[in-house]
Amino acid sequence: VASLPSAKPKLKPEDFSIQKLSEAHKPRMASFLCAGDEEEAFLKEDALKHQNLRLSETFLLIENQSQKLISYMTISFGSFKISENEPLGGVPIREKQTHIFSSHVPCLLIAKLGTDKEEEGRGGGTFLIDLAVQKGLESNKVLALPFVALHSRLDKVDYYKKRGFLVAFTPAKKNEGTITMYRGLMETAPSLPLNF
C-alpha cells in the first residue's frame, strides 16, 4: 500500500548532512521504518557487514534539527546489460563490435535506496541520487565509468525517469520483478566519435 506523501516541508541542502554509515548510527538505524521491507531489513541487518567487507558503501541522510535518519543509499560498482543498439553519445552499443563497448557495461550501482515512511516526499531520495551521480563522476576521473544504474521496482520506474534515468532494455524484459535503469555520467561530455 503506497503511503501518503509527508506533510513535512521539503529539505534544503542546509537542513541535513550526509554521513557514511558507522557503528555509531545503530540507534538511528533501529528507529528507521521504510515502506520497503527489503530496504529496511538490509539497512538494519546487512549494510554495515557489507561495508566492512568492502562489498558496498552506505550513506545516511540525517536531518540536522531532529537528527533523524530520513533516507539512506547503498552503492557499489556493478554492471548491467543494455539493449543492443541503445545509443551512447551517438554510438550504438553492440556486443563485440569494437571490443570497447559491449552490451554488458560497468556502472556505479545504486543497490538500495530507502526513505523513512514518515519522511517520504521531502527530497531525501533525490539528494542521495545526486550524491550517487557525484560519486560516479569522481570515480570517472580514476577509471572510465559510463553510468549510474539501478534495478527499479516496477512502480518506481516513473520516479527514476523524472530523475534522468532511462530504461536499459527496450522493450522491458517480461516477468521481471525489477527494471534496470541507467543514467549517463558523460551527458555534458562532447559526443564520442562514431568510428574508432
Ligand X SMILES: CC(C)(COP(=O)(O)OP(=O)(O)OC[C@H]1O[C@@H](n2cnc3c(N)ncnc32)[C@H](O)[C@@H]1OP(=O)(O)O)[C@@H](O)C(=O)NCCC(=O)NCCS
Q: Which residues bind ligand X (CB under 6 A)?
A: 5, 34-36, 39, 71, 113-115, 120-126, 152-153, 155-156, 158-159
Residue 15 C-beta: closest distance to ligand X, Å: 13
Residue 13 C-beta: closest distance to ligand X, Å: 13
Please, what is the Cα angle at 89 between 86 and 94, to 5 degrees? 40
Residue 79 C-beta: closest distance to ligand X, Å: 18
CA–CA separation, 180 vs 174, rounded Å? 12
Residue 120 C-beta: closest distance to ligand X, Å: 4
Nearer to ligand X, 44 or 153 (CB): 153
List Cβ neighbours of 119 (8 Å cut-off, separation of 6 or more).
6, 8, 68, 70, 71
Nearer to ligand X, 63 or 86 (CB): 63
Nearer to ligand X, 5 or 171 (CB): 5
Nearer to ligand X, 32 or 101 (CB): 32
What beta strand segments (E) does the chain contain? 16-20, 57-63, 69-81, 87-88, 91-92, 104-115, 147-153, 166-167, 178-184
